[in-house]
Amino acid sequence: MYGFEIMEEIFEKTGRVWRPGPGTIYPTLSWLEENGYVESVLEVRGEKARKPYRITSKGAAALKEYRTVRREGLESLEWMRNVWKDM
C-alpha cells in the first residue's frame, strides 16, 4: 500500500473525520521502516518513483500485541465503569 493509500484508508476508517497529511504519514512510515515494522521497495516507472509499504512479521506481532493490550484495557475500563455505576 502506498503512503497516499494509507492516508485515504485512515480517513475512511475514522469515519471521514481525520485525514493525516504527508507530513504525518511519511515520517511515521520512515520510523516504522527503520525499526523493522514495515518494509518497502522503490518502484520506478518512467520518471515516477513510488514506494509500496507492507507490514513485516515483526510489525504483525507488534500489532497483535497492541490489539490484545487495547482490548484488555477497554475491558478494565468497562469493569471500573460498572463498579462506579453501582456506587
pLDDT bracket for residue 83 (50, 70, 90): confident
Count Cβ atoms below 10 Å from residue 69 Cβ, excluding itself: 10
Q: Read off the pLDDT band of 87 (50, 70, 90).
A: confident
Range scoring the smallest mean pLDDT among 20-29, 30-39, 42-51: 42-51
CA distance 81 to 27: 37
* The model's pTM: 0.78
Pick the CATH number of 1-55 from 1.10.8.100, 1.10.1380.10, 3.40.50.720, 1.10.10.10: 1.10.10.10
Q: Which residues of 72-82 are buried (b: 16+ CB within 10 A; e: fewer)?
A: eeeeeeeeeee
Nearest to 38 by CA among 50, 49, 51: 51
Other CB atoms within 10 Å distance of the CB of residue 21: 8
| 3-state secondary structure at position 37 | coil
What are the extents of the domains in the chain? 1-55, 56-87
Q: Which residue has the higher pLDDT, 62 or 46?
A: 62
